[in-house]
Structure 1
Amino acid sequence: MDLIDRIYEAAVIPELWAEACDLLSEETGAYSTALITLVPNAPPRWVSSACIAEQMKVYEESGLAARSPRPQRGLAIAPGNFMRDIDIMTPEELAVDPIRAELLEPIGLPWEMGAVFLEPSGSLLVFSQLSSAEMGPFGEKAVARMNALKADLARAAFLSARLAFKQARTMVQTLAMVGLPGAVVGDRGNVVAANAPMEDLAPRVRIGTRDRLHIADAGANALFSTALEQLSTGHAPSVQSLPIAATEDAPPLVLHLIPVRRNARDIFSRSSALLVFTPVGAVGPPDMRVLCGLFDLTRIEARVAQELTRGHSVEEVAAILGSRVQTVRTHLKAIFRKTGVNRQSQLVLLLSGLAPVGGTDPA
């Protein structure tokens, strides 16, 4: 498979972007390659060659992305074209550039070549390659090689972004199939996608200005805002369940926040969490379609989750399924990992309300 094929393969299987970065580095003799998404007022998202991953994490947390003029300079001079740092900045500017002085020079990789693409949503997609101090600035041959690939790189990156948005819509529509309100929120708390049942929650839950989700229950809204802030910094639990008080004509709800954590897909989706609203008291065997689609469970894992939510013990589930107890425990560990909980009681609470509406759950 040639390089261009590998690039388009990564477009539909985002987990392969890191490997594609290594192949791009080999093309130009670069030490590393990274693909970065820059969104205003949010930390950068990225995927990179493994050799630079630790330094990319420092870059993500440092705030350097907002302080460096490189992306906007490149976008203004030649959008979508690969250029070297020496092509867009003077020696004097390079000497005081925060990216170079605070990050690149200390790790011995002071030279950069990159291209900036403006994504339709307003995000910037940046391809960045680094070269060591010993190798010096990238040569014109390396720039020409990357520019020969730029159209394919841009198409592949935009395809990944569109597929990520499609996946967000698919997740909430899966919930709509069984009557559950759901939405996907982005890094800034904006609603990326929502399903039709969400409209039935108004005015208790509504989408307001700038596509922000607002909860009429002041206490729940404060908890929700705090949870989003924690998610943006990566300090929140894998799953959070927040109570929404009952009103005179509506029962209490539980809002489940499930972080979107799918490796390289994060750099394109700008999704922070999937929100699922379930009514209190609607405890029952969860819908197989929701379990498989929402938590990426296999059918046997979903069946185990169903039986546990019915109140059966692990031993009873093993008897029902005709499996060994240890096999069921293995499935349960996988379910815990995928749902973000670590106790059976938490799992039952999380899955409460994901029951089929008005019919039998398909087997």
Structure 2
Amino acid sequence: MPDLPPSTGTASSSITLDRFSQILDKLYEAALNPDGWEGCLESIRHELQGNYVSLIVRTVTAEDTGLIVSVSEGRRALELNTPNLSVSPFTGVQPDRLVTNADVISDAEWRASAYYRDWCAPHDVYHVMAADIGTREGEVYGFRVTRGEQAPPFSAADKDLGRRLIPHIKRALNLHQSIHQDRKVLSLYSRAMAQLLVGVVVLDKDCNVIECNPAAKSILDMQDGLRVAGHQLEATYANDNRKLQRMVKDALSHNAGTKIALTEALSISRPSGQLAWGVVVQSISPDQWTEGKQRPAVAVFVRDSESKTQPPVKLAQQLFQLTPAETMLAIQLANGMSLEEAAEALNIRRNTARAHLRSIFSKTGVRRQMELVRIFLNSVAWLGTKE
């Protein structure tokens, strides 16, 4: 396998294209899965014959213990809670510029510095190759490769390899941040849907279930009118199932011809005798970059109109300025109980419940119980419900 061609103005690294490709494979895998960073850094350490390679994700502060992902050549782990990291001579170096300790500080100053004396020397760190890598989100990550005092300093070829890696590490960090943020946002959306008692089932182009949110899983686990059989969503009753399968197929066929979503709805009866499930089937517009059987093609939304949930009492109190007792009564009423049923459930007298209700009316500005239920159910308090 040939060596990598030299970059302009620098010596060529002796690394082969095959070994460089293997490092990049691990680097971009780490962007998708943070657990892969150690394997990636170990590949770099091995190639550059370092005793440590580290990615400084966060430096220690009064509020944060910091985070360093580090690999070593059988040596003791790096200590994260080291305030001397903040006085490193590499602090303030131009972002994305690769330097060594010899580039930024004299040998005498290096040996005399508290950073070297208190942190580097105990770990047998003498030669350092470093870069601070800035991302699109404004974060700065520290990349460090080190060698002991008895090892040779980093050569021009070593530094050339480091410079070649910096743009790829930067892209991988940008990719990691983007994916991580997307996952966080999607998790919040899923949680909000679940807390509002909306189940979401995602099907692929072969009608197989590929994703369920917590509310949908809870509904399907009941097997009360809806279930998953052979990886496919089915209704218990034949007539309901025919309608459901027809709607799914219509959504799939519509999906293939247009980017405008097709949405249909039906009610699905429950053997338990409880109110029917409200079901909406919607096509998912195709993504021309996404192919294969696992591509999301149809979304099925399921709503349980009878299910009762319990928003955090503290949030409801804060939102409506109610007392704890008033809040508990309002929650029971929002869950469909009459005033008498709520009083019995809360083990209070009816007159006490009526007094609480009058106080609730006064504080919320409503005059009727149905109006109270409406504003309570439409409030953001329910979004604070824990999964």
TM-score interval, smaller chain: 0.3 to 0.5
Greater fraction of residues in helix: 1
| TM-score, with structure 2 as normaliser | 0.44
- Greater gyration radius: 2
